[in-house]
Chains A and B, each alone.
Chain A
Amino acid sequence: MAKTGMERLKELKKEIYKCIHCKACRFAYSGEPSRAGIGEFTGKQGTVLYEGMIDACPAGIEYGWEAFWNAGKIWIARSILSGDLEFSDEVRDVIMPCITCGQCSAQCENKIPTVDIIESLRAACIESGVPMIEKHQLVDRLVKELNNPYGGKAEERFKWAKDAGLGKYINNKNAKVGYYVGCTASYRQVEVAVATAKIFEQLGIDFTLIEEEVCCGSPFFRVGAVDTAQELMKKNLEAFKNLDMVYFSCAGCYRTITIDYPKWMAEDEKLPFKTMHAFELVSKLITEGKIEFKPNKELKGKVVTYHDPCHTGRHFALEMEQEMIKNSKNLMFDMRKINKAIDEWFEIPRVILRKLEEDVGIKFTEMYRIKNNSMCCGAGGGVRAGYPDFSLRTASLRCDEANAIKADILTTECPFCWRNLSDANDQYNHGMQVMGVLEMISKYNLLDTSNLK
Chain B
Amino acid sequence: MSYKLPDDKDLDAMIGIVGKEYATNNKAITASYLSKSVMGLESQIPDIVVRPKYIEEIRKILLYCSAEKIAVSPISAGLSGGFACPTIKPAGVMLDLGRMNRIIEVDTENRYVVVEPGVTIGELWAYMHKNYPEWAPPVPDGAPPASTVMGDAIDRGFSLYTSSVGPQGDNFMCGEIVFPNGDIVRTGSWALPFAKPFYKYGLGPDIWSFLMGSQGTLGVMTKVAVKIYPHPKFKTVVVWGMSNPEDMQNLTLEIGKQEFGIAHNTVMVQGGNYPLVMTRWPKDKVPHDYEFYEQLGISKWWMNWECWAQTQEELDYVVNRINKMAEDFKKNRAKDPDSIKPQELHPKQIASRLKKPNKIAVPYAFWEAGFLFITFYTPWNECAHFAEMYTAAMEKYGFPPVMWIASIERCRQAICMPIICFDSSKQSDLEKVQDMNRETTEYALKQGWLNYRPDPYIHAPLTYSQAGMYWKYLRMMKKTFDPNMIMHPGRLALP
Contact = CB atoms under 8 A, between A and B. Distances in A.
Interface of A: 13-24, 26-27, 30-34, 49, 51-53, 64-67, 71-73, 75-76, 78-79, 84-85, 88, 90-91, 93-95, 109-111, 325, 328-332
Closest 4 CB pairs of A and B: A72-B32, A67-B32, A23-B146, A52-B126
Contacts of A49: 126
A21 B146 CA distance: 10
Contacts of A65: 24, 29, 32, 49, 51
A68 to B, nearest CB: 8
B174 to A, nearest CB: 26
Given A22-B146, A33-B125, A66-B33, A17 B359 contact: no
A150 B34 CA distance: 39
A109 B362 CA distance: 6
A368 to B, nearest CB: 13
Nearest to A23: B146
A110 B362 contact: yes
Contact of A330 (B33, B38, B285, B359): B285
Interface centre among B125, B146, B358 (most CB of A within 10 A): B146
A33 B424 contact: no
Contacts of B130: 51-52
B145 interface: yes
Contacts of B34: 21, 75, 78-79, 84
A72 B32 CA distance: 4
Contact of A66 (B96, B282, B357, B365): B96
Contact of A67 (B29, B84, B366): B29
Contact of B369 (A18, A31, A64): A18
A328 B366 CA distance: 14
Chain B interface size, as a band, is: 35 or more
A349 to B, nearest CB: 28
Contact of A18 (B31, B358, B365): B365
Contact of A34 (B27, B32, B126): B126
A94 B29 contact: yes
B35 A21 contact: yes
Contacts of B29: 65-67, 72, 90, 94
Contacts of B282: 325, 331
A94 B30 CA distance: 11
B100 interface: no
Nearest to A53: B122
B365 A20 contact: yes
Given A17-B425, A109-B362, A329-B285, A22 B31 contact: no
Given A76-B31, A85-B28, A331-B281, A20 B359 contact: no
B359 A31 contact: yes
B424 A88 contact: no
A413 B423 CA distance: 41
B81 interface: yes
A330 B293 CA distance: 12
Nearest to B33: A66
A284 to B, nearest CB: 32
Given A33-B357, A110-B365, A90 B287 contact: no
Given A52-B122, A64-B51, A331-B286, 5 more contacts: A22-B144, A65-B24, A93-B28, A94-B28, A109-B366
